[in-house]
Amino acid sequence: MRTYARSSHGCLRGGLCHNIRRKVIIMDILRKISGAFGRYMAGIVVVVTALALFVPESSLWIQTGWINPLLMVIMFGMGLTLRISDFAPVFTHPKYILIGTISQFTIMPALAWGLSLVFGLDAALMAGVVLVGTCPGGTSSNVITYLSRGDVALSVGMTSVNTLLAPLLTPAITYFILRTTVSVDVVAMFVSIVQVVIVPIIFGFVINKLLPRISETLADILPAVSVTAICLIVACVVSHNAGRIMSTGWLVFAVVILHNMLGYLCGFVLGKILGFSVSQTKAISIEVGMQNSGLATSLAGSAFPSLTMATVPGALFSVWHNISGALLASLYRRWE
């Protein structure tokens, strides 16, 4: 009986060890896949966009009603990565956070408005470009700042503060710029930002605080989940508007590229003028130039339901700023 008991116990322990090893192997595979998604994000987004543009039938199965839930998944992931310490720069370096916030909500909206006038965009495209400009920075800016060897703490601090201010500032600035051009539903925009951005971020933050082990496990696969969600949003918007994009594509792409590049440049010049360190200048340059374009795409649907092309600039910005961000990171890494 004792021999049998020991044997059974050994089998139980062996089975438990086998299950643990299997789980470890599965998580290791998921981490590698997720890491690959993060490293090759720009290329993946480009391929998905090209497929949706030239073969729209391949992505028409993605419903426009999925955009908000997909963006909520991305924002939840951002919340999972936030810690109380990420807000330390707000108190230790309030001057830099204030400058970053003012820059974010003045430079990009002004560039959006100016480029729309220079290129003579119609009301729908102007609304979409302005929305991109009035949105806060996204999590991509934090990743690119890290790859650029910039001040990551400052970047995360600016992104967090700007995102929390977005429910008030994004609708207000959008209305101020577009009030004479199109009808802006400020209330719908405010409610949408709270639902799609603030609530998921707070939920992710709470999970991270109360259940750190679960959040650490989820964080390992976040890059793959976020890239998949971004690709689905871009594919949805591009495929459903492929004909319109092909007819005005060069014009929209020109505005999107200039908007992003001039944002980088203005942030860089501002950092140099104000005497920021090299790492701080990199951070503010990237933070100003990179926008939460997924949010702009989502808001276009709720704030301008009758302007279908208003969703396009945000989708194209999502494609372009990941490419330009990767190129900028390789350049900034050499600047020490």
The amino acid sitting at 7 is: S
What local confidence, expressed as pLDDT, does residue 47 receive? 87
Residue 287's nearest CA partner among 172, 167, 171, 154 is 154
What pLDDT score was predicted for residue 30? 66
69 and 194 in a single domain? The answer is yes
What is the average per-residue pLDDT within 65-87? 80
Neighbours of 255 (CB within 10 A): 25
Q: What is the pLDDT of residues 248-280, one digit of tens each?
A: 768 888 999 999 999 999 999 999 999 999 999
Domain contains 213? yes
CATH code for the domain in which residue 163 is found: 1.20.1530.20
The answer for 275, left when phi > 0, alpha when psi is -120 to 50, beta otherwise, is: left
Residues 302 and 168 in one domain: yes
Residue 20 resides in a domain: yes
Q: Are residues 328 and 179 in the same domain?
A: yes
101 domain residue, yes or no = yes
Does 111 map to a domain? yes
Containing structural domain, residue 274: 47-332
Residues 215 and 102 in one domain: yes
CA distances 271 to 55, 96, 215, 267, 282, Å, are 43, 10, 35, 6, 8
CB 292 within 8 A of CB 71: no
Q: Which amino acid is at 177?
A: I
pLDDT of residue 92: 79
Residue 41 lies in a domain: no
Do 261 and 111 touch, CB atoms closer than 8 A?
Answer: no
Are residues 134 and 264 both part of a single domain? Answer: yes
- Same domain? For 99 and 4 the reply is no
Please give the model's pTM, rounded to 2 decimal places: 0.79
Q: For the chain, what is the domain count?
A: 2
Residue 1 has pLDDT above 50, yes or no: no
> Average pLDDT for residues 83-95, to the nearest whole number?
77
Is 23 found in the same domain as 69? no
Sign of CA dihedral 23, 25, 27, 29: negative
Of residues 97 and 90, more confidence is placed in: 97
Query: What mean pLDDT is reported for the chain?
Result: 83
| Section 64-91 average pLDDT | 79
CA–CA gap between residue 133 and residue 127 (Å, rounded): 10
The secondary structure of 54-105 as a DSSP string is H-GGGTTTS-GGGHHHHHHHHHHHHHHH--GGGGHHHHHSHHHHHHHHHHHT
93 lies in the same domain as 4:
no
Give the DSSP per-residue string, 164-213: HHHHHHHHHHHHHHHTTTS---HHHHHHHHIIIIIHHHHHHHHHHHH-HH
Tokens of 81: 């990565």
The whole-number pLDDT of residue 15 equals: 60
pLDDT one-digit tens code per residue, 276-304: 999 999 999 999 999 988 888 888 877 88
Q: At what angle do helices 139-147 and 67-81 cross, to 10 degrees?
A: 50
Q: Are residues 175 and 284 in the same domain?
A: yes
Question: 91 and 19: one domain?
Answer: no
166 and 194, same domain (yes or no): yes
Is it the case that residue 78 has pLDDT exceeding 80? no
Q: Which of 10-14, 31-35, 82-86 has the lowest mean pLDDT?
A: 10-14
Q: What angle do CA 96, 101, 104 make, to 5 degrees?
A: 120
Going by C-alpha positions, the residue among 185, 223, 189 that lies closest to residue 81 is 223
Q: Does the residue 179 lie in any domain?
A: yes
Domain membership of residue 207 (yes or no) is yes
Closest Cα partner for 194 from 172, 168, 213? 168
Position 6, amino acid: R
Considering the domain boundaries, does residue 38 fall inside one?
no
Q: What pLDDT was estimated at residue 4?
A: 45
> How far is it, in rounded angstroms, from Cα 70 to Cα 315?
13
Instruction: Tell me the mean pLDDT in the region 97-124.
Output: 93
Please give the residue that has the higher pLDDT: either 141 or 257.
257
- Average pLDDT, stretch 108-113? 96
User: What is the C-alpha end-to-end distance of the chain, expressed in Å?
Assistant: 71
Are 19 and 79 within one domain?
A: no
